[in-house]
Structure 1
Amino acid sequence: MDGRGDTNSPKDVPGNEADDAVDQRLGETVRLLRQRAGFSIQDVANKTGLSTGMISQLERARAMPSIRTLRLLSIALDVPISYFFEASDPADVPRYIVRKNSRRLLRLTASGVVKEALTPEGKGQLELYELTLNPGASSGTDFLQHTGEKAGYILSGSLRLWLDNQAHVLEAGDSFRFPSTVPHMFDNPTQQAARVIWVTTLRQTDSPAG
């Protein structure tokens, strides 16, 4: 990983119906959030550093986003990244509790990452996830920086965490914390899936839901 480019790519081969439905839902969510904010595609491109073509392809489900791309979009559109997760069943959902079988999922088929939201829906001061990284999975090939703080705990497998161009290989039982202003990305370079508890504090300009 050299910190250049990103793993987003146009869909040049057909996927299965489930993956296509996930990409379609993500694209529609990005488009609706952009329109709600009153932004043009060019506006979002200027705020994220992504190309207008990439954003257009994402909205039309013709490209598959990386974690880095979704984080950039969440910052530009001023929403938690959990807004991109699959919606939960609104029936009988506790306000402050998340049951194991009610977790909202975000499947990033291109990146090989599955994120499970461990915090309830709505804005708050932090986001808590369980990440599953398939062999070769990554957050993208470019570093990300933003305000806030990140921390995590390796449940199983290995995580290679890149902080300011330095790689740290973390094993089960290891943990970390760093300011999100430090250039960072991560991947799973092994042939075994990894599971990680991941904590992200929101930007200082974000406020908890009322």
Structure 2
Amino acid sequence: MGRETNDRIRNRITKSALPPDGTANGAKGAGATKAADLWLGQQLRALRKGRDLSLTELAERTGLSIGNLSQIERGVSSPSVRSLKKLSEALQVPVGDLFQETDLPPAEEMNYIVRRKTRPMLHLSDTGLQKELLTPTTPGALQMLLVTLQPGGSSGPEFYTHRGEEAGLVLSGALELFIEDERFLLKEGDTFRFKSTQPHRFVNVSAKVTTVLWVTTPPGY
């Protein structure tokens, strides 16, 4: 089987793959969490198949185990942020292509406005992390996200890096931010900025949901 272009693969991963109960639009509860895991797994499997890669080959490219990849594709588990970045690099797609699609905005708003109901979402249930894209998906110099962390939720146990710079404002809860060898505890109203090339990770140390307005430049998704 020949390799497909990104456009052809994306055409196969449309909103028809979303669960019929509308859980992709931010519904709460275990059902929505499971649906998000299944949706992400379907995307990753379609991309892998479209590139003629076996699970063994993808495992070699990402350093993830075959068992872990199989669980992710079946929606049994979800990857950490670092693992997701490895998968996107191995599959040669931006991580933004793995956000769940929602209703398309009107044509006149696409370059400027993101309505609440049209925010693309990425839900990683195993790490208790959800990201909502707040800026248009058209090309730009920066990107703004609403990051929601369940109690104990995190970016994953591994530090990760990428190009650019990022900043944020803790809207609620408490965020423990690790940058290289430094640890910072940020509470509601606190802000941060650092170079994304510095190894970093983060975790919600609050007993409540933590939300963060997160800005990256250049866009990471």
TM-score by structure 2 length? 0.74
User: Which amino acid in 2 is paired with 1:112?
Assistant: G
What corresponds to 1:27 in structure 2? 41
- Is 1:101 aligned to residue 117 of structure 2? yes
Q: Secondary structure at the match of 2:157?
A: coil
User: Which amino acid in 2 is paired with 1:95?
Assistant: M
Q: Higher helix fraction: Structure 1 or Structure 2?
A: 2
- Counterpart of 2:189 (choices 169, 173, 183) is 173
Query: Contact conserved, 1:66 with 1:111, CA < 8 A, in 2?
Result: yes
What corresponds to 2:78 in structure 1? 64
- Counterpart of 2:127 (choices 104, 111, 115) is 111
Q: Secondary structure at the match of 1:199?
A: strand
Separation in 1 of the partners of 2:136 and 2:55? 30
- Counterpart of 1:145 (choices 135, 157, 161) is 161
Which ranges in structure 2 are unaligned for 5 or more consecutive residues? 1-28
Between 87-96 and 107-116, report the one with greater CA deviation. Answer: 87-96
- Counterpart of 2:60 (choices 16, 33, 46) is 46
Q: RCO higher in 1 or 2 (8 Å CA, sep ≥ 6)? A: 1
| 1:40-62 alpha-carbon deviations (Å, 9 max, x no partner) | 43443333322222122211223
Deviation, structure 1 residue 163: 0.9
Q: Secondary structure at the match of 2:194?
A: strand
Aligned residues with identical type, % of pairs: 42
Separation in 2 of the partners of 1:37 and 1:127? 29
Query: Contact conserved, 1:80 with 1:123, CA < 8 A, in 2?
Result: no
RMSD, matched Cα: 2.6
Which ranges in structure 1 are unaligned for 5 or more consecutive residues? 1-14
Separation in 2 of the partners of 1:27 and 1:165? 34
- Is 1:76 aligned to residue 76 of structure 2? no
User: Which amino acid in 2 is paired with 1:108?
Assistant: L
TM-score by structure 1 length? 0.78
Q: Secondary structure at the match of 1:64?
A: coil
Q: Secondary structure at the match of 2:148?
A: strand
Change (3 A) 1:90 1:152: same
What corresponds to 1:160 in structure 2? 176
Separation in 2 of the partners of 1:154 and 1:21? 28
